[in-house]
């Protein structure tokens, strides 16, 4: 199968992987034939990349970061709990179920991730149509736990970190929906209102008996930046909790690799470049390096162009050289389709580099 941008979809293509709707129900099954109407519908739901079947790359095995079942269960739980909290803040209202429910969820994610030693951060915003806040909360949780495991935190620390990551944007449940789903760029006044979610989230969590204070601080501090340019308080360096400094990276990355109505999603390598422009000033260098080594910058199935001029599809990524995947070469340097595609392992051909990635610049 191949990963292609929604703009390159053509009627008649067949899906390479099933697509779930917002309630975790299968919307389109594997191999479903795409029509103009279906393509429009996927676009209106905000999907930006889709796996399609391709006989030349049918053997590509997709490895997800966590089990499908864990993901479905997690999204259900997040949806149910977050919906209960949606609406204006009520003084004195507590959410005693939060800590217990979500600690269990964080542990399931930890179990899935620790059973895969070579787990990589993969673009997760594919083939599932979810409310942005729910999906984003789950993705940030998964990415952050993976980084925390690589860093070597204990199980207890990982649970606290995972809870903080899962609930970092919980304050957004108290903002008006039209503000969160506004299709255009926000005005300055609206942006100021959105920024309040950090403090609102902290207030919601800090007195919850099941939520440790260190996790509540992730909600408060995930938009703070090393040089003091963040919000809400503009605190700097070590004043920002270590957990919040991890979440600053995973939160920014997931936001950039997700399609919003007002801007296209970036591909992982582009988002990584943007993060690196803030290396040492916005984000901590050592943490960014852990992230860089664990992010699959070329998603499986993506079309790439090589410095030789040949084009192909990424068919394998390993944990040792994630930046140098195995590419199935499909065309010669002049663009003619090869009769016999073959696999080129870039980790063994260090002089060849990937020069373009399909999706943003229209190759493929």
With respect to Fe ion, which residue has the nearer C-beta, 19 or 247?
247
Q: Tokens for 28?
A: 């389109």
Decide whether 42 or 163 has the Cβ nearer to Fe ion: 163
Contacts of 23 (CB under 8 A, 6+ apart): 76, 79
Residues 66, 113: contact at Cβ < 8 Å? yes
Q: Are 48 and 6 in contact (CB under 8 A)?
A: yes
Binding-site ranges for Fe ion (CB under 5 A): 169
As measured in angstroms, the least distance from the Cβ of 67 to Fe ion is 27
User: What is the C-alpha separation between 214 and 225, in angstroms, rounded?
Assistant: 18
CB of 136 to Fe ion, least distance (A): 9
Nearer to Fe ion, 254 or 310 (CB): 254
Rounded to whole angstroms, how far apart are CA atoms 76 and 82? 10
Give whichever of 7 and 229 is closer to Fe ion, judged by the CB atom.
Answer: 229
The phi-psi region of residue 24 (left if phi > 0; otherwise alpha if psi is between -120 and 50; otherwise beta) is left
Does residue 232 have a cis bond before it (omega within 30 degrees)? yes
For Fe ion, the nearest residue by Cβ is: 169
46 burial (CB, 10 Å; 0-12 / 13-18 / 19+) is: middle
Min CB(286)–Fe ion separation in Å:
23
Minimal distance, residue 211 CB to Fe ion, in Å: 17
Rank residues 70 and 250 by Cβ distance to Fe ion and give the closer one: 250
Shortest separation between residue 223's beta carbon and Fe ion, angstroms: 6
């Amino acid at each position: 199968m191949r990963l292609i941008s929604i703009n390159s979809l053509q009627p008649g293509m067949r899906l390479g992987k099933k697509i779930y709707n917002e309630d975790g129900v299968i919307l389109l099954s594997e191999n479903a034939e795409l029509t103009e109407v279906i393509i429009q519908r996927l676009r209106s739901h905000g999907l930006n990349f889709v796996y399609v079947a391709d006989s030349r790359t049918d053997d590509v095995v997709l490895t997800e970061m966590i089990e499908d079942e864990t993901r479905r269960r997690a999204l259900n739980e997040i949806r149910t709990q977050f919906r209960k909290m949606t609406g204006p803040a009520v003084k004195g209202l507590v959410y005693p179920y939060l800590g217990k429910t979500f600690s269990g969820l964080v542990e399931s994610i930890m179990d899935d991730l620790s059973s895969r030693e070579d787990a990589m951060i993969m673009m997760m915003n594919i083939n599932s149509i979810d409310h942005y806040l729910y999906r984003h909360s789950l993705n940030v949780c998964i990415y952050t736990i993976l980084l925390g495991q690589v860093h070597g935190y204990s199980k207890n620390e990982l649970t606290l970190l995972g809870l903080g990551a899962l609930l970092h944007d919980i304050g957004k449940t108290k903002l008006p929906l039209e503000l969160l789903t506004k299709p255009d760029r926000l005005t300055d006044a609206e942006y100021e209102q959105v920024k309040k979610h950090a403090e609102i989230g902290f207030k919601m969590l800090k007195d919850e008996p099941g939520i440790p204070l260190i996790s509540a601080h992730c909600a408060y501090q995930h938009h703070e930046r090393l040089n003091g340019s963040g919000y809400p308080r503009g605190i700097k360096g070590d004043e920002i909790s270590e957990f919040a400094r991890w979440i600053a990276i995973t939160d920014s990355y997931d936001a950039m690799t997700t399609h919003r109505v007002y801007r296209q999603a970036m591909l992982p390598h582009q988002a990584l470049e943007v993060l690196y422009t803030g290396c040492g000033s916005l984000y901590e260098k050592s943490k960014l390096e852990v992230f860089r080594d664990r992010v699959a910058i070329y998603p499986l199935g993506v079309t790439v162009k090589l410095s030789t001029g040949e084009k192909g599809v990424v068919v394998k990524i390993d944990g040792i050289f994630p930046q140098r995947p195995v590419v199935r070469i499909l065309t010669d340097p002049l663009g003619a389709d090869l009769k016999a595609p073959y696999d080129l392992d870039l980790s063994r051909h260090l002089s060849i580099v990937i020069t373009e990635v399909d999706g943003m610049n229209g190759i493929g």
